[in-house]
Amino acid sequence: MDHALIPIADKIDAGRRLSLEDGRTLFATGDLWSLGQLADRVRRRLHGDVTYYNINRHLNYSNLCALSCQFCSFYRKPGQPGEYQYSLEQIAAEAAQAAANGATEIHIVGGLHPYLPFSYYTDMLRAIRQSAPTLHIKAFTAVEIVHLARISKRPRDLEAVLTDLQTAGLGSLPGGGAEVFDDRVHDQAFKGKIRSDQWLAVHETAHRLGLMTNATILYGHIESIEDRLHHLLLLRAAQDRALAANLPARFQTVIPLPFIPDDSALGRLPGPTGLDDIRMLAVSRLMLDNFAHVKAFWIMQTLPFSQLSLSFGVDDIDGTVVWYDITKVAGASTHQEVGVRELRMAIRQAGFQPVERDTLYRRVIRHGPNWRVDDPTPAPGSEVGV
């Protein structure tokens, strides 16, 4: 083992928190195998040989967006070729079909639509509630929530907006839109988007209302290693606050997202290497000691890579997905689906035990498309505790 990692290994064995300096060492080491072993030690302490997956359906309701983020090749402006928008009827039908096929979750994200009214979003949730009552609705990144606060003329009242959405059927918030919590990177790559303080405020408000949320970091573009560490430490501090205040909800999982250049304005950049990807997942597992889960999103990392990542700190793979428009695995269309058999086999081949979960990480007992959760009321925070 790289000698610089030995004091860090001691801390991990003693269950002590890693510092910013430790994080720098983890990013600097050339000993990727030992780094992976350390992350695996933590992952096994928390989850043994279990790897979670879920049967879900992603739905990107529109690619029209008021923003022009440099890393994004998904957005379109009104009148541009390729713009699209789902009607509420289409969304309700997609949800019903997903539920009939056994999905437990629908994950909904879109651009910041320039003219849809707030009622479109609450009606969307109600329509899904009606057409697919068993589906958990995980929807709208913090960026969309702030946009909805603005269009509902309550720009500062995040609580009122989230309460309206929750009443209409929202079950939890996905982790998107965080990008990198740094003002320089923000101004260069996603100017106009909310900054870290607002992103964190949305999630804290959601936690206070009992809505579980996720977190992401979009890495491998113009950010520095220091920026990545700063981002992880801000997430860790936010989770500390949620846990210390005994809020009814918290962050469940972190999903490190590798930048996919495609034909974005940053398309000249190469994107992260596989080595960077595996390091990022392992470091996330080690630094975010108060996050229960680290998830690989195979759509961005590929399924074979996600298999490997299970030995580098990852305990969760999203998911069956079905359709995804924001990024595409090389050469794919927006139909990007992996079957349950394939997903379970990939997990088994890697030496882990596949366990289907619902959005709240409860075990699913399944008979074909019919399912129920094993224990509907797990103790709050029971899965946290590195």
Running DSSP on this structure, what letter comes out for residue 292? S
Residue 260 as a binder of ligand V47 (CB under 6 A): the answer is yes
Does residue 79 come out as left (phi exceeding 0), alpha (psi in the -120 to 50 range) or beta?
left
Residue of 23, 36, 102, 176 interacting with ligand V47 (CB under 6 A):
176
Residue 294 as a binder of ligand V47 (CB under 6 A): the answer is no
For the bound state, the minimum distance from the C-beta of residue 260 to ligand V47, rounded and expressed in Å, comes to 4
Of 17-25, 86-94, 236-244, 258-266, the segment contacting ligand V47 by CB under 6 A is: 258-266
Burial class (CB in 10 A: 0-12, 13-18, 19+), 14: exposed
Running DSSP on this structure, what letter comes out for residue 18? P
Of 125-133, 153-161, 213-221, 273-281, the segment contacting ligand V47 by CB under 6 A is: 213-221
- DSSP string of 206-241, one letter each residue: HHHTT-EEEEEEEESSS--HHHHHHHHHHHHHHHHH
CA 195 to chain centre: 18
Residue 206 as a binder of ligand V47 (CB under 6 A): the answer is no
Residue 175 as a binder of ligand V47 (CB under 6 A): the answer is yes
Residue 179 as a binder of ligand V47 (CB under 6 A): the answer is yes
CB nearer to ligand V47: give 8 or 95.
95
CB nearer to ligand V47: give 262 or 337.
262
Of 27-35, 96-104, 173-181, 338-346, the segment contacting ligand V47 by CB under 6 A is: 173-181
For the bound state, the minimum distance from the C-beta of residue 259 to ligand V47, rounded and expressed in Å, comes to 5
CB nearer to ligand V47: give 257 or 282.
257
Residue 257 as a binder of ligand V47 (CB under 6 A): the answer is yes
Question: CA–CA distance from 230 to each of 3, 42, 102, 195, 204 (Å)?
Answer: 25, 21, 39, 14, 18
b vs e for 250-263, b when ≥16 Cβ sit within 10 Å of the residue's Cβ?
bbbbbbbbbbbbbe
Calpha distance 307→253 (Å, rounded): 18
Calpha distance 42→286 (Å, rounded): 7
Residue 72 as a binder of ligand V47 (CB under 6 A): the answer is yes
Contacts of 372 (CB under 8 A, 6+ apart): 364, 365
For the bound state, the minimum distance from the C-beta of residue 11 to ligand V47, rounded and expressed in Å, comes to 29
Residue of 227, 315, 318, 325 interacting with ligand V47 (CB under 6 A):
318
Number of residues that bind ligand V47 (CB under 6 A): 24
Start-to-end Cα distance in the chain? 22
Residue 259 as a binder of ligand V47 (CB under 6 A): the answer is yes
Calpha distance 19→283 (Å, rounded): 12
Residue 297 as a binder of ligand V47 (CB under 6 A): the answer is yes
Residue of 103, 151, 165, 300 interacting with ligand V47 (CB under 6 A):
300
Identify the bridge partners of residue 353 per DSSP, sorted by sequence position: 50
Residue of 216, 284, 306, 309 interacting with ligand V47 (CB under 6 A):
216
Residue 355 as a binder of ligand V47 (CB under 6 A): the answer is no
- CB-based closest residue to ligand V47: 176
CB nearer to ligand V47: give 227 or 318.
318
Six-digit token string for 300:
């961005």
CB nearer to ligand V47: give 8 or 98.
98
CB nearer to ligand V47: give 18 or 299.
299
Query: From start to end of the chain, where are the E strands?
Result: 50-54, 56-59, 105-108, 136-139, 172-173, 212-219, 251-258, 293-297, 316-318, 321-323, 335-337, 353-356, 364-367, 370-373
Residue 95 as a binder of ligand V47 (CB under 6 A): the answer is no
CB nearer to ligand V47: give 130 or 224.
224
Residue 214 as a binder of ligand V47 (CB under 6 A): the answer is yes
The pairing of strands 212-219 and 172-173 is: parallel
CB nearer to ligand V47: give 58 or 236.
58
Q: Which residues, 38 to 67, sit near ligand V47 by CB under 6 A?
A: none
8 Å CB contact between 326 and 178: no
State the residues that interact with ligand V47 by CB under 6 A: 71-73, 109, 141, 174-177, 179, 214, 216, 218, 255, 257, 259-260, 262, 264, 297, 300, 318, 326-327
